[in-house]
């Protein structure tokens, strides 16, 4: 049980750090990748909380498709936030 | 000033989310729930809460081993139709907005490892996606996860081959799958008692062919979600920057 708590805390802190970095950075590509990392960490959290179906969805949509849509959109506009 | 307002709004949101935890079943006794299960067919009210009913009777009533799927497709099937409609509306909006933009394709070659590796991996990704939505009533998963895995497979192809292009004919799949969902629901209304009611014998729980209409609906949702998400990503790729 204690291992679960430690792992959950590490994952939660990682997700929070990635989310804050995604908001604060000026480089939009890094921001999109940080969002993907946050989604991936949250999907591992879902797996630990015994919701594998939600974990599959979060991993493929959050870390895959959403990030690709963002990267395509950033490629069409500008990379740096003003 | 704007930052302060943002912090206050985020704080209110955080506190209300935390208050939600108080109402989760972990801190409450399941049987103390005041909402009792009402039978949709004869209207009788059982002396047990809705979660208790799902835990006890899902397997016999629907034939699905995976109770989450049974709730999503059978007990709450109408909500799922709404979810599919939301996704459909989003995909329609994206394709409408991006059809106004100039279409053009940049033809940059991807590197060798990505090209050959994606050729090797794509069949397995598609197989995994199909497995997830066909086995929705047996193992965790279902139409939405399976469809998104299929779409991520096509995303890999789009990254590896810039010439890879999905024809507009993919929207036929989308329409056919959506129509199949509604037709199965209407058949339930005609052959059984209500919309999306099961009208096929449930069979033995745990078999691949069991659980009545759940696998059929999930195959339709899998095709629909897969084709919609790949169409969205493809439209984003096609716009000229």
| SS3 sequence of A16-52 | HHHHHHHHHCCEHHHHHHHHHHHHHHHHHHHHHCCCH
Res A28 pLDDT > 80: yes
* A53 neighbourhood in chain B, CB within 8 Å: 68, 140-142, 145
Record the pTM. Answer: 0.79
Q: Is B209 left (phi over 0), alpha (psi -120 to 50) or beta?
A: beta
Flag whether A81 is in a domain. no
Matching residue, tokens 């996704």? B87
Q: Are B133 and B212 in contact (CB under 8 A)?
A: no
- Domain assignment of residue A29, given as a range: 2-76
Q: What is the pLDDT of residues B7-19, one digit of tens each?
A: 999 999 999 988 8
**Within a domain: A70:** yes
Rounded Cα distance between B46 and B61, Å, is 15
Lowest-confidence segment of A9-23, B21-35, B110-124 by average pLDDT:
B21-35
Chain segment B149-163, per-residue pLDDT in tens:
988 888 888 888 877
Asked whether residue A82 is domain-assigned, the answer is no
Q: Phi then psi for B103, rounded to 5 degrees?
A: -95, 140
User: Around Cβ A45, how many Cβ atoms within 10 Å?
Assistant: 19
The token pair that represents A8 in the structure block = 């959950």
A55 lies in a domain?
yes
Residue pairs spanning A and B at CB distance below 8 A = 52
- Greater confidence (B8 vs B1) lies with B8
User: Mean of the per-residue pLDDT values for chain B?
Assistant: 80
Amino acid B22: pLDDT: 74
Indicate the residue of B68, B148, B236 with minimum beta-carbon distance to A73. Answer: B236
Contacts of B148 in chain A (CB under 8 A): 56-57, 60-61, 64-65
d(CA B142, CA A56): 10
Q: How far is A24 from chain B (nearest CA, A)?
A: 13
Number of domains observed in the structure of chain A: 1
DSSP string, B180-222: HHHHHHHHHHHHSSSTT---S---STTSSS-STTHHHHHHHHH
Is the residue at A71 inside a domain? yes
Q: Is B9 helix (H, G, I), strand (E, B) or coil?
A: helix
Query: Per-residue pLDDT averaged across B95-120, rounded?
Result: 78
Q: How far is A66 from chain B (nearest CA, A)?
A: 9
Residue B240 has pLDDT above 70, yes or no: no
The mean per-residue pLDDT over the stretch B84-97 comes to 86
Q: How far is CA A62 from CA A36, A42, B40, in A?
A: 6, 9, 37
| CA distances for B30 relative to A49, B15, B171, B217, angstroms | 19, 24, 44, 30
Backbone angles phi, psi at B49, to 5 degrees: -80, 170
**Residues B166-183: tens digit of each pLDDT:** 777 777 888 888 888 888
Is A43 inside any structural domain? yes
| pLDDT reported for residue B124 | 93
The per-residue pLDDT for range B22-75, each reduced to its tens digit, is 766 654 555 555 566 666 666 667 677 777 778 878 777 777 788 888 888 888
Check: complex ipTM more than 0.95: no
Work out the pLDDT band at A76, boundaries 50, 70, 90.
confident
Model pLDDT, residue A41? 92
The answer to whether residue B143 scores a pLDDT higher than 90 is: no
| B182-229 pLDDT per residue, tens | 888 888 888 877 777 777 777 777 777 777 788 888 888 888 888 888
| Interchain pair B144, A77: CB under 8 A | no
């Amino acid at each position: 049980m204690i291992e679960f708590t430690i792992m959950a805390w590490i994952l939660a802190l990682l997700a929070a750090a990635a989310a804050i970095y995604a908001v604060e950075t000026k480089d939009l590509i890094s921001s999109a990748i940080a969002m993907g990392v946050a989604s991936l960490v949250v999907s591992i959290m879902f797996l630990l909380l015994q919701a594998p179906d939600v974990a599959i969805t979060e991993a493929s949509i959050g870390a895959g498709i959403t990030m690709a849509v963002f990267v395509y959109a950033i490629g069409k506009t500008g990379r740096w936030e003003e | 000033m704007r930052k302060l307002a943002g912090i206050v709004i985020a704080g209110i949101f955080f506190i209300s989310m935390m208050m939600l935890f108080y109402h989760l079943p972990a801190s409450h006794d399941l049987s103390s729930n005041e909402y009792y299960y009402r039978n949709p067919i004869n209207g009788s009210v059982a002396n047990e809460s809705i979660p208790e009913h799902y835990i006890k009777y899902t397997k016999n009533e629907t034939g699905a081993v995976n109770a989450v799927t049974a709730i999503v497709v059978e007990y709450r099937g109408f909500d799922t139709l709404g979810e599919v409609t939301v996704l459909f509306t989003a995909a329609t909006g994206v394709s409408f907005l991006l059809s106004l933009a100039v279409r053009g394709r940049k033809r940059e070659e991807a590197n060798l490892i990505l090209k050959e590796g994606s050729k090797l991996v794509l069949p397995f990704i598609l197989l995994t996606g199909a497995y997830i939505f066909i086995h929705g009533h047996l193992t965790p998963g279902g139409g939405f996860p399976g469809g998104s895995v299929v779409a991520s497979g096509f995303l890999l192809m789009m990254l590896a081959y810039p010439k890879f292009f999905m024809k507009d004919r993919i929207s036929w799949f989308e329409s056919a799958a959506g129509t199949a969902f509604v037709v199965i629901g209407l058949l339930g209304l005609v052959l059984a008692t209500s919309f999306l009611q099961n009208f096929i014998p449930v069979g033995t729980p745990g078999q691949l062919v069991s659980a009545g209409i759940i696998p059929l609906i999930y195959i339709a949702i899998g095709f629909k979600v897969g084709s919609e998400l790949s169409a969205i990503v493809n439209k984003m790729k096609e716009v000229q920057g």
